[in-house]
Structure 1
Amino acid sequence: MIVGILKELSFETRVSMLPETVSALIKKNVEVWVERGAGEKASCADSDYVSVGASIKSAVEIFQSSTIILSIHPPDETSPSPNPSQIIIGVFQPLYNGPLMDQWAKKNITTFSLDMLPRTTRAQSMDVLSSQANIAGYKAVLHAANIFPKYFPMFMTAAGSIAPAKVLILGAGVAGLQAIATAKRLGAVVEVFDTRPAVKEEVMSLGAKFIEVDGAADVSKAGGYAVEQTEEYKQKQQQKITEAIAKADIVITTAQIPGKKAPLLITDEMLAQMKKGSVIMDLASATGGNTNVTKNNETFLHNGVTIVGNSSLQSTMPSDASKMYGKNVLNFLQLIIDKEGKLNLNFEDDLVKGACITHGGEVLNSRVKEILTD
């Protein structure tokens, strides 16, 4: 069996697997083909892949002969099309790309989108959302620190005292928790808001203050993802955030709801109250952003506040991002490749079934089906 690794689109710096992970796959009796130049932006030369036993091929050859194709993003219209019965694995955001999933289903392509894996303990080693969000939270703080026109830590100097920066983090998921830890290491005072009261202990253990709002919707049945809240809760939430945001120097927003527009957390009125020179890092910009004015992949000044719309901060650290992503993929592949290196699609496995979007000429995922029939 051949597993092919594609070179990503021009905006992406990561690669699906680094040579060290490819080596582990080859030891499982799997032949690996890597598209020429696939690892360059992640600091890996073609020769590095060859040295562990992989073969360097063109995209056309990979699409022609691979059983499984690895590509973080869906290939664009300039790429060869997957063949019927081929398997393609990546992070395809099927809840936003329903028509593409439908198109692949009609071509009898089997699609696994790892962003749709159930958020269970068993799936943690394959959780690409968490591994990449960890990097995004870390880089969000560092990027904000570079833009912010003041120190992060408190300083006592002969020229006077410098107060520490005040950081407000909206969302205490993986990205938010890493942002807390990083901001604290840089010496900032950190406050955190999240709709899930259960994360309070984690937030406080990292040295941050948790902003509590009563009446949050139950998220226990949402599989670890965020859910929409009631209007009454949203009003209470806005009041609490308004009070905190007026004092904040840095605001990092991470709130997203799968398949829906990102929730509005920072209103125009809140923006108007923010201090000149403050910074908003909006990690939800790809799905509309947590402010009304966020622009995806843009940084701009709005009434003295710098707003950064960036949902791809993980790509600014491509080496480690690729390392972690590749290990996630390898762990998932072990569910569908047996010890002899042969394909074994076991749809009785909840993780295999949960990540599968298309198979056998149809869209299998119920949530994607709903979007296509709306």
Structure 2
Amino acid sequence: MKIAIIRETAANEARVAATPETVKKYIGLGAKVSVEKGAGEGSKIPDAEYKEAGATVSATASATLKGANVVLTVRRPTATSLKGAAKGALVIGQMDPFGNEKDIAALAKAGFGVFSMEFMPRITRAQVMDVLSSQANLAGYQAVIEAAVTFDRAFPMMMTAAGTIRPAKAFVMGAGVAGLQAIATAKRLGAIVSATDVRPAAKEQVESLGGKFVAVEDEEFKQAETSGGYAKEMSQEYQAKQAELVATHIAKQDVVITTALIPGRPAPRLITKKMVESMAPGSVLVDLAVERGGNIEGAKLNEIVDHKGVKIIGFENMAGRVASSASQLYAKNLYSFLETLVDQETNALAVNPEDELVAATQLTRDGAVVHPAFADKKGAKS
């Protein structure tokens, strides 16, 4: 079994799909590992460290891919970029399939077995494979750091002989993994933190981190969570009531961080231009959903927008801004999953379509798109 780690080509992507630590583990499974030259550069991992771990460092992507049975990636590759990999090779990474069905169909037609790590089920067995959580955790942390850098005042209360500096007020919208880490980070920096979410379970989580929970707690709110633990899209009536409550609250905040995403849909609009304008000059907003259209009106991809003295940060791939840490966690997620696809006695690939992890994550198999979310769509099958 040969595993290939190629250098990411997407703009603003500094992460890598394997670290020297996971390379050693793959070799322990009986695999040969080939890493493209410079693949770990953005994560501060020199080629020499991959060599010391036992990998072969190849000068080009084609040389890295030659004969590979498994290709590990951070972002979705194109079918043409995988030329040289073995027939039927497994391609494992974050595939971002919603809205990119044609690209998935092309990978299927090329014969690759594609797995989308974002679809990993949230069950006990798969916790160590949960890339959404590992990366969102860092995104929430980095969102607060970016806000602190842009905010031209201190976060904590400071009592000095010259006077007292009041603590910053930070409001986090969405208390999933990213939101909870943002709450914890802002709290550690000394801010007065509040948060909102449409999931009832989030209230206790927010309060356990020392934050104040802000929400319209009606009957719809009590039913606003899927069996998988994700937030449901709320009715327009609820959104209007929540928006009114939130608008009043936002006007008093110094920092606002939004994290609301619904799988397969554009990001919900949470903050209007009017709300932005209600904030004091010097306030900062961070939109972690900007890649999906954004939660904040006026947010622009990879820009810091200054709207009447209020700054809106719209950086994509926030986890990638702390690439060394993100790669460390992401690589472990991939290893933990791939290990389940290898026969422990023969050290050969043994993918079981009936396994719940495979069934949940496999997009393509034997030339066809097989995931139920995409298989029946026009043009999805090869």
Q: Which bin holds the TM-score, normalised by the shorter protein? A: over 0.9
TM score, norm. by length of structure 2: 0.94
Aligned to 1:284: 289
Aligned to 1:351: 357
Residues 71-114 of structure 1 show CA distances to partners (whole Å, capped at 9, x for unaligned) of 11123588343564121111011113111011111222110010
Aligned to 1:148: 151
**Is this contact kept in 2: 1:217–1:229, CA < 8 A?**
no
Aligned mates of 2:67, 2:146 — CA distance in 1: 42
Structure 1 residues 107-186: aligned runs within 5 Å: 107-186=110-189
Question: Which of 206, 218, 223 does residue 223 from structure 2 map onto?
Answer: 218
Q: How far has the Cα of 1:261 moved from its partner?
A: 0.5
Structure 1 residues 270-279 or 242-251, which shifts more? 270-279
Q: 1:371 to 1:217 in 2, by over 3 A?
A: farther
Aligned to 2:33: 32
Aligned mates of 2:321, 2:226 — CA distance in 1: 34
Where 2:103 maps in the other structure, the secondary structure is: helix
Structure 1 residues 1-374: aligned runs within 5 Å: 1-9=1-9, 10-57=11-58, 58-75=60-77, 79-81=81-83, 84-213=87-216, 214=218, 215-216=220-221, 218-339=223-344, 340-369=346-375, 372=378
Q: How far has the Cα of 1:160 moved from its partner?
A: 2.0
Aligned mates of 2:28, 2:107 — CA distance in 1: 31
Q: How far has the Cα of 1:372 moved from its partner?
A: 4.7
Aligned mates of 1:256, 1:221 — CA distance in 2: 14
**Is this contact kept in 2: 1:5–1:71, CA < 8 A?**
yes
Q: How far has the Cα of 1:158 moved from its partner?
A: 2.3
**Is this contact kept in 2: 1:284–1:310, CA < 8 A?**
no
Q: 1:371 to 1:262 in 2, by over 3 A?
A: farther
Aligned mates of 2:160, 2:225 — CA distance in 1: 49
Aligned mates of 1:294, 1:217 — CA distance in 2: 31
RMSD over aligned Cα atoms: 1.7
**Is this contact kept in 2: 1:197–1:212, CA < 8 A?**
no
Structure 1 residues 300-309 or 221-230, which shifts more? 221-230
Q: 1:77 to 1:113 in 2, by over 3 A?
A: closer
**Is this contact kept in 2: 1:299–1:306, CA < 8 A?**
yes
Q: Which runs of 4+ in 1 moved over 6 A?
A: none
Where 2:194 maps in the other structure, the secondary structure is: strand
Q: How far has the Cα of 1:331 moved from its partner?
A: 0.5
5+ unaligned residues in a row in structure 2: which ranges?
none
Aligned mates of 1:349, 1:78 — CA distance in 2: 29
Aligned mates of 2:324, 2:252 — CA distance in 1: 36
The letter for the 1-side match of 2:274 is: E
Where 1:172 maps in the other structure, the secondary structure is: coil
Aligned mates of 2:351, 2:150 — CA distance in 1: 48
The letter for the 2-side match of 1:41 is: G
Aligned mates of 1:306, 1:370 — CA distance in 2: 43
Aligned mates of 2:284, 2:117 — CA distance in 1: 32
Aligned mates of 1:371, 1:223 — CA distance in 2: 23
> What is the total number of aligned residue pairs between the two structures?
374
TM score, norm. by length of structure 1: 0.96
Q: How far has the Cα of 1:220 moved from its partner?
A: 4.4
**Is this contact kept in 2: 1:5–1:70, CA < 8 A?**
yes
Where 2:62 maps in the other structure, the secondary structure is: helix
The letter for the 2-side match of 1:23 is: K
Q: How far has the Cα of 1:219 moved from its partner?
A: 4.7
Q: 1:80 to 1:24 in 2, by over 3 A?
A: closer
Aligned mates of 1:180, 1:309 — CA distance in 2: 19
The letter for the 2-side match of 1:8 is: E
Q: How far has the Cα of 1:222 moved from its partner?
A: 4.8
